[in-house]
């Protein structure tokens, strides 16, 4: 097992690899993390995702423009491809199914994909609708797959306004389905205001929330069955 200094060094390598849009550095860092026996999940979030957060700041400071951001995203994925198969499958007792996507008008899917990955790792069945998803498609897909959970992602103040519309429609058709929202401009307050059942700041918390929701639904169902 690597000591803390070594671990930090490897994570920094991945982080800087993302910032410098250096795919090779990200791949090497990811491989080193595996060779050193580090936890793949931790490497993803404390290494690769930490780098992407810094990239977001550089973008806001106008040091990075769109081409750099895209190359950074490619570097992140280069590392992710190596680490992902090694994420420990968690045995969490509950398994649910989720419809997930980034709402209409929004092409930001990096964060959504990380949330999706956490669900995959936890053994959930995931129906990924991708990005820039027409609002009605969430409603249709939920009905079609009878998923317990719908997860909506938005990274723009202009696109997140679509969320309450989806929430309303899904709740009208299927009041038992639970909805979670996320993405930088959203918040617990907005989730409450729009009638979503959950909100999370990041991918790990998204999974924790989801597990709570699915367990809750199962309990409800079991209670109903018991009464019959």
Partner 1 sequence: MDSEQLKAYLKTEGATIVGVGDLTRFLAKEITHLGRGISLAINKGLTQDAIERLLKLQRLTEAWLKDRGFRSLSVPPDSDRIKGKYIARLYHLVSHKTAATCAGLGWIGKNGLVINSDYGSKLSWATVLTDAPFWPDSPYMESKCGDCDLCVKYCPSGAVQGLLWSRQAPEAEIVVYKRCLSLKKKRHVFEEKPNCGLCVTICPYSRKKQVKAKVRGVKTGS
Residues in contact with partner 1 by CB under 8 A are: 65-68, 70-71, 73-74, 77
Q: How far apart, in whole angstroms, are the C-alpha atoms of residue 203 and residue 50?
A: 13
Nearest to 114 by CA among 97, 132, 96, 126: 126
Q: How far apart, in whole angstroms, are the C-alpha atoms of residue 173 and residue 168?
A: 9
Least distance in angstroms from the C-beta of 54 to partner 1: 17
Please work out the total of residues on this chain that contact ligand B12, with binding judged by CB under 6 A. Answer: 36
Q: Which stretch binds ligand B12 (CB under 6 A): 16-24, 133-141, 164-172, 181-189?
A: 181-189
Say which entry of ligand B12, partner 1, none residue 94 contacts (CB below 5 to 8 A, set by partner kind).
none
Least distance in angstroms from the C-beta of 160 to ligand B12: 8
Nearest to 131 by CA among 111, 98, 106, 148: 106
CA 95 centroid distance within chain: 17
Say which entry of ligand B12, partner 1, none residue 52 contacts (CB below 5 to 8 A, set by partner kind).
ligand B12
Closer CB to partner 1, residue 71 or residue 94?
71
Nearest to 169 by CA among 186, 133, 194: 194
Say which entry of partner 1, ligand B12, none residue 10 contacts (CB below 5 to 8 A, set by partner kind).
none
Closer CB to ligand B12, residue 59 or residue 216?
59
Q: How far apart, in whole angstroms, are the C-alpha atoms of residue 180 and residue 191?
A: 8
Residue numbers 110-169 binding ligand B12 by CB under 6 A:
110-112, 114-115, 151-153, 155-158
Say which entry of partner 1, ligand B12, none residue 150 contacts (CB below 5 to 8 A, set by partner kind).
none
Closer CB to partner 1, residue 113 or residue 142?
113
Closer CB to ligand B12, residue 158 or residue 176?
158
Nearest to 46 by CA among 23, 73, 12, 19: 12
Least distance in angstroms from the C-beta of 133 to partner 1: 17
Q: Which of 108, 171, 208, 218 touches ligand B12 (CB under 6 A)?
A: 108
Contacting positions for ligand B12 (CB under 6 A):
49, 52, 56, 59-60, 66, 69-70, 73, 105-112, 114-115, 151-153, 155-158, 180-185, 200, 202-203, 206
């Amino acid at each position: 097992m690597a000591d803390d200094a070594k671990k930090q060094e490897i994570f920094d390598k991945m982080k800087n690899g993302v910032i410098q849009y250096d795919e090779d550095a990200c791949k090497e860092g990811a491989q080193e993390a595996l060779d050193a026996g580090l936890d793949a999940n931790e490497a993803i979030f404390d290494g690769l995702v930490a780098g992407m957060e810094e990239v977001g700041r550089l973008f806001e400071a106008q040091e990075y423009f769109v081409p750099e951001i895209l190359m950074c995203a490619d570097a992140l994925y280069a590392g992710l491809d190596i680490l992902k198969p090694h994420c420990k499958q968690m045995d969490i007792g509950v398994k649910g199914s989720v419809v997930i996507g980034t709402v209409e008008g929004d092409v930001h899917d990096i964060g959504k994909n990380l949330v999706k990955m956490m669900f995959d790792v936890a053994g959930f069945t995931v129906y990924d609708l991708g990005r820039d998803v027409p609002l009605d498609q969430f409603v249709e897909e939920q009905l079609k797959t009878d998923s317990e959970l719908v997860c909506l992602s938005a990274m723009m103040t202009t696109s997140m306004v679509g969320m309450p519309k989806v929430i309303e429609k899904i709740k009208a058709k299927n009041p038992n389905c639970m909805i979670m929202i996320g993405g930088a401009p959203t918040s617990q307050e907005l989730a409450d205001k729009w009638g979503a059942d959950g909100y999370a700041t990041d991918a790990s918390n998204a999974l924790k929330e989801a597990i709570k929701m699915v367990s809750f639904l199962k309990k409800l169902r079991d209670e109903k069955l018991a009464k019959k």
